[in-house]
Structure 1
Amino acid sequence: MQSFLLKAAAAAALFPTAWAQNLTTNGTTNGTLFTTLLAAGRPTPKLDFRDTAPLVPATYDGQAYGCKCYPGDSCWPTLNKWNALNNSVSGNLIRYIPAAAACHNSFTGPLGTVSNTYDAAACADAQANWLDEDWTVSKPAEYIWSYATNSTCTPADDPNNTRGCTLGYVGVYVVMAKKEAHISNAIDFARKNNIRLIVRNTGHDFLGRSTGYGALILNTHSFQSIEFTNRYTGPGSYRGGAVTIGAGVQGRTILTAAHNQSPPLSVVTGECPTVGVAGGFIQGGGHGPWTTLKGFSVDNVLAFRVMTASGEITEVNESQNADLFWALKGGGPATFAVILSLTMKTFPDLPSVGATLYTNFTNAFDYPTWFKSPSIFHKYANDFVDSGMYIYYEMVPMLFTVRPFVAINQTVAQFNATMAPFLAEMNLEGVPYEYMVKSYPTFYDLYMDLFEAEAAHTNALTGGWAFSHDDFETNTPGIMGGLQTAMDNGGFMIGHLFNSGLHVPSGDNALHPGWRNITDFVISAFLVSDDATIAEKDALNSVVKNVADPAFRAASTSGVTYVNEADPLQDNWQSHFWGSNYPRLLTTRAKWDPKGIFYAVSTPGTEAWEIKDYGTRLCKKL
């Protein structure tokens, strides 16, 4: 989602007592960390959950539940216990106060009210940087898309404003983990005290999986190690180049480190520079600009180092804990374990061609002519991806932007030959457009030039669907009708064209098998006012669930959508996210996290869990 569509989002500031982190990158070859991680194999952990605290009994509408423990409950840990946790994490436990509290006279959360929070300089910083993703990611618990937080603390010009600043659906404490032991101690504390645990590496999350009311947040962003090797030595048969990255490493960071190798290398990351590669991105599958050539990111994973729900460090690869290895590769964010680091394949960076196309009719009001531009574009969607392209586009009434077309390891002549029929038809139909094509010495140079940062703190609901090769062969008008329905109901579209089965026909991972026949994955987004009532939010949720997404499904036979970028509350999400892989994921979840220490909405094994009391308490139906 490029910034021009998301400028409607509001902003946040660094609270005066927030943390300054010194994050460094080590881009050495054959580094000691890589060797150490490979040599640190351990047997399957004990997975002892006998010290798990019981759930809190509750009843809703006559149904018995067991809930996590929250402030005000008799089970809530004493201050002495929280101090003990702080000591065990080397003083890296903080009470979370939103960054935008600096623009208000006070802040109120489940732990009480903090007075005198106003700070003019910090407020100005927040107002200036609220839309900046890098600024947002650097904070302990800010989130890229704010809908799931309830957007109850945003910057204000007047600290005496009537809206005020409250915590919303966000955790009350944050462990700013600096060592693996900090992660283990945070997990143990949450398990032994029945506290909801949230795992956050960057907060780049559309669906609320890295936030939650009254929780303990485990922030892994400081894990920034990067170690390359020229020759991976196993387990497995792969013997090419590889890189091991820490949990907090983001897309732009790893691509830059890879580019600085000699010769330049690359990896499969997402299109957005701020996405944390080893977090929900990889656990959801991970698609990006290299996907047509190299598959999903999980098709390139060689090993993980993780912390289990029992607090044990575990090596995970095709030989050690192979069931968990399979599940972590696309089986759902924050579901099976906390990823400490992952090892993935590298490959030589290649010369690339990039292009942009804009059709902007916002001053012309000629909707039928404008609509021809995305219609003609989608008519050639299969041709684009089958030629090896990756394409990112945005679509809102009267504005259609493709930035960029990406053709890795192609010449301008090859690229132009693929584009010629599409551009000829645009000209024939009289659709005005701006078009640019350019060659680059490497994909990295293209990436830095053409991929834009997104805007942070967007308050929006998300839907979406994947359209297959067959759908475009037989029903492109129906697909356009689905996109039109979403726009008619206030949505804008973010599309990704790729063919993950073109060069990677299969993979031993938890991805929905249907992804191997997908041409276009579309996200639909619906902006929400920060002051929207519960009734207004429910009405918009109904639009996503009962109007927009059904229009997509009616035009498609794929049955597929993306676990990280779609409506998590849709019916039959198990099948739409994972297809035939879901039963195996349930079995794996029952083994590695039988007590539900980890929770993320609509992930394997969460069917009995619900958010009760107006978005606050996480409870399990008994």
Structure 2
Amino acid sequence: MIDMMHGQLLLLGLAAAGVLGSSLATLPRQDVTASGGGSPPLNFSDAAPLQPTTWNGKKYGCKCYLGQACWPSANDWKKLNATVGGNLLVDIPPGAPCHNTFQGPLGTVNTYSAAGCADVQANFANETWTVEKPAAELWTYWTNETCRPTVDPSAPCTLGYYPVYVILAKTKEHIKAGIDFARQKGVRMIVRNTGHDFIGRSTGWGSLVINTHSFQDVTWTKTYTGPGSYTGTAVKIGAGVQGRSILTQGHARNPPVVVVTGECPTVGIAGGFIQGGGHGPWTTLKGFSADNVLSFEVITASGQFTIANEAQNPDLFWALKGGGPASFAVILSVTMKTFPDVKSAGAILYINSTLTNDTNLWWSGMTSFHKYSNHFVDNGLYAYFEVLPQTLRVRPWVAIGKTAAQLKTILQPFLSELDTEKVPYEFAIKDFNTFYDLYIDMFEDEAAGGSALTGGWMFNHDDVANRNDQIINAMKTVLAPAPDVFGFMIGHLFNPGYGVPVANSATNPGWRNATDFLITTIIVEDGASLARKAYLQNTLTYKMDDALRNASRSGTTYVNEADPFQPNWQSHFWGSAYPQLKKTRSKWDPLGIFYAVSTPGTEDWQVIQDGTKLCKAL
């Protein structure tokens, strides 16, 4: 509780002292209106202008930041705090209890606590602990690593790229107040649900974060009444509900039901996950999570509460289903199809250095595994696997609605090939009464607190069938892209087109022939310089991911788990859907009130001055 307690005290104390910010200047407003497609007009006439800035000889219009005349006054922040019921906090990084002081942009706060530091050190890698913090990121690279846990309390702790303020929203009115404030004052605004974010879209220097994690309402229905032709079972899920939570609640139903969630239990379902598409163990059978959405409740950039479904605001409805996180509206709730839970089977396989130190033999096993990946997904399977030097770890294969005997029959050609090639492996297989039982038993919690850069690419059926050797060579590049760089991969075998051949969402049409989505990762060492970070980013983009792109003809990758700085991200993330998404974005958020890197309509936006100010090129 040290974050919240000190944050509230600091906010109130500095506000009373009148040092939270300078008086708000009188600024001309931008007058932009648009039709809401069934909603009241989208009026942006109260929006503050961008601030003129020159950097490296180029002219920009930037969001408003602390220290500028445009920054909201102390009274402005006090009024916002009152509007949101006292839930406005000054953000303090989660590692602060291990430091004597937090030297924040609004003042210095004494933060050291022996008990608090012990808690931080014990839980910094715990996803569940991190999710509950006001503005923490599960993977810390994009925070600038300026206040990590330490055994030296005298070490400095600064804000880095964390937000200045956080609204711990408890009601939809709190979210609206934050959106309105950001629009009217010109400050950068970010939506944060769980902080489950590889590429920094949940944090940002000098910003106001709206935390939606408290929205935990869940409402089940046996008969969905529309709009649309679907009349089956459904569930309405609040913005903050996470994967394991909704699956657990579904398991308690009679009869038990499931929702298409991610494989990681801490992912929030309703927000950025679905806005990116949302893939998981049921995706081969039922498509992306976005393909299973029936309706959204949202707040727009103009501050409107509205509904998006087939009948109301259908353009917004389509765009929210995979069109990009934090791009079109803030999601309050999502209504999704549910499906009966069924008996399932799972299997695990390891080929690693405890079994063989023969590198060629290990790569032979890896080649066989990937060669059979079309076969796996064409039989309705899902698989989650990890690839490191001399390590292939498949945990698990998922066979929903199948027995262990049926799963073994599907896997047998691959296992027989390993036997023929004398590749040693460990293998286990098991029946489960429900998918939920498999999920709890075989899927593992991921770790938080690491600093890494993330990329990735999708291989489709044609890639696997005709270029598997090239893919394996590209994987070798990913694992050893440079003498001083270590890479690894996280793979997902699924095909949304198996069960949903034609998308009803804004996801890239290329996914409908998918086989393997591979995440690439570089660990970033503590204390890495700006030059080192730039070098690692270049290595990821132009060595590791470039090798994968060159081995593939899919042209496709996943917006939530890939390199946002790759060339032609628009086409790779959304394919032929991109032009319509950009047009829809210009209607619902023409001024960039919402921003997430490499999402529709952000071509002219850039974070300048070493990762600080968000600006638009003029």
The answer to whether the Cα contact below 8 Å between 2:164 and 2:206 also exists between their aligned partners in 1 is yes
How far apart, CA to CA, are the structure 2 residues paired with 1:492 and 1:14? 36
In 1, are the aligned partners of 2:182 and 2:188 still within 8 Å (CA)?
yes
- Equivalent residues in 2 for 1:428-507 (5 A)? 428-489=420-481, 490-507=486-503
In 2, are the aligned partners of 1:14 and 1:100 still within 8 Å (CA)? no
**1:364–1:472 distance in 2 versus 1, CA, 3 Å:** closer
Per the alignment, in what secondary structure is the counterpart of residue 554 of structure 1?
helix
Match for residue 67 of structure 1 among 53, 62, 86:
62
**Alignment deviations for residues 557-602 of structure 1 (CA, whole Å, 9 cap, x no partner):** 0000000000001110000000111110011001000111000000
Q: CA deviation at 1:272?
A: 0.1
Match of 1:414 in 2: 406
| Structure 1 position 317 matched with structure 2 position 309 | yes
Q: May I ask how many residue pairs the two structures share in their alignment?
A: 587
Distance 2:301 2:538 in 1: 35
Aligned to 1:120: 114
1:525-573 per-position Cα deviation (integer Å, ceiling 9, x unaligned): 0000120000000000110111111100111000000000000011100
**Alignment partner, residue 358 of structure 2:** 366
Q: Deviations over 1:304-355 (max 9, x none)?
A: 0000001110011010000000000000000000000000000100100001
TM, length-normalised to structure 2? 0.93
Alpha-carbon offset, residue 111 of structure 1: 2.2
Within the candidate set 182, 190, 195, 1:198 is matched to 190
- Tell me which of 174, 195, 199 is aligned to 2:166: 174
Question: What does residue 281 of structure 1 align with?
Answer: 273
1:512-523 matched pairs, under 5 angstroms: 512-523=508-519
Query: Counterpart in 2 of 1:36?
Result: none
Q: Which residue of 2 aligns with 1:234?
A: 226
Which residue of structure 2 lines up, in the alignment, with residue 87 of structure 1? Answer: 82
**Alpha-carbon distance in 1 for matches of 2:150, 2:3:** 14
**Alignment correspondent of 2:45:** 50
User: Would the alpha carbon gap of residues 14 and 465 (structure 1) be closer, same or farther in structure 2, given more than 3 Å must change?
Assistant: farther
What is the rounded CA distance, in whole Å, between the counterparts of 2:389 and 2:453 in structure 1? Answer: 18
Structural mapping, 1:72-151, within 5 Å:
72-114=67-109, 116-151=110-145
The separation in 2 between residues aligned to 1:278 and 1:67, in whole angstroms, is: 30
Find the aligned partners of 1:579 and 1:589 in 2 and give their Cα distance.
16
* CA shift for structure 1 position 17: 2.1
Checking the alignment, whether the CA contact within 8 Å between 1:362 and 1:399 is kept in structure 2 is no
Q: Does 1:559 align with 2:555?
A: yes
Aligned match for 1:404, one of 396, 399, 406: 396
C-alpha distance in 2, partners of 1:507/1:244?
A: 22
1:335 corresponds to: 327
- Per-residue deviation at 1:43? 4.2
Distance, in Å, in 1 between the alignment partners of 2:350 and 2:160 is: 39
Secondary structure in structure 1 of the residue aligned to 2:565:
coil
Q: Match for residue 180 of structure 2?
A: 188
Q: Deviation digits for residues 360-416 of structure 1, max 9, x if unmatched?
A: 206853211222222110011000000000000000001110000000001122111
Q: Distance in 1 between matches of 2:587 and 2:467?
A: 43
Q: Give the Å deviation of 1:109.
A: 2.6
Q: Residues 464-516 of structure 1: CA distance to partner in whole angstroms, max 9, x if unpaired?
A: 10000001110111111111100012210000001111121012211100000
Q: CA RMSD in A?
A: 1.5
2:542 pairs with 1:550? no
Q: Residue in 2 aligned with 1:263?
A: 255
| Partners of 2:86 and 2:4 in 1: CA distance | 18
- Select 2:592's aligned residue among 593, 596, 617: 596
Checking the alignment, whether the CA contact within 8 Å between 1:16 and 1:122 is kept in structure 2 is no
8 A contact 2:188–2:614 mirrored in 1? yes
Q: Tell me if the contact between 2:585 and 2:601 (Cα under 8 Å) persists in the aligned partners.
A: yes
Structure 1, residues 244-263: CA drift from partner, whole Å, max 9, x if none? Answer: 00000000000011111100
Return the letter of the residue paired with 1:156. T
1:447/1:539 CA distance change after superposition, 3 Å? same
Cα distance in structure 2, aligned partners of 1:398 and 1:357: 14
Q: 2:487–2:522: 8 Å Cα contact kept in structure 1?
A: yes
Deviation at 1:16, TM superposition (A): 6.9
AA in 2 matched with 1:95: V
Q: Secondary structure at the match of 1:269?
A: coil
Q: Secondary structure at the match of 1:530?
A: coil
Equivalent residues of 2:38, 2:312 under 8 A apart: yes
- Higher mean displacement: 143-152 or 557-566: 143-152
Paired with 2:260 and 2:519, the residues of 1 have a C-alpha distance of 20
- Cα distance between partner residues in 2 of 1:524 and 1:345: 32
| Structure 1 counterpart of 2:580 | 584
Q: Which of structures 1 and 2 has the larger relative contact order (alpha carbons within 8 angstroms, sep 6+)?
A: 1
Tell me which amino acid in the other structure corresponds to 1:69. Answer: C
* Partner Cα distance (2:190, 2:324) in 1: 14
Q: What percent identity do the matched residue pairs reach?
A: 60
Asked whether the equivalents of residues 508 and 575 of structure 2 are also in contact (C-alpha less than 8 Å), the reply is yes
Contact 1:42–1:315 (8 Å) recurs in 2: no
Q: Distance in 2 between matches of 1:167 and 1:363?
A: 46
Give the Å deviation of 1:42: 11
Give the residue type in structure 2 aligned to 1:339: I
SS at match of 1:501: helix
Q: What is the rounded CA distance, in whole Å, between the counterparts of 2:118 and 2:586 in structure 1?
A: 48
Letter in 2 for 1:548: M
AA in 2 matched with 1:190: A
Q: Does 1:528 align with 2:520?
A: no
Find the residue that maps to 2:95 and give its secondary structure. Answer: helix
SS of equivalent residue, structure 2 residue 350: strand
Alignment check: 8 A CA contact 2:503 2:512 kept: no
What pairs with 1:607-622 in structure 2 (closer than 5 Å)?
607-622=603-618
Report how far residue 275 of structure 1 moved.
Answer: 0.2
CA distance 1:235–1:425, shift in 2 (3 Å): same
Tell me how far apart the structure 1 counterparts of residues 308 and 495 of structure 2 sit (CA, whole Å): 28
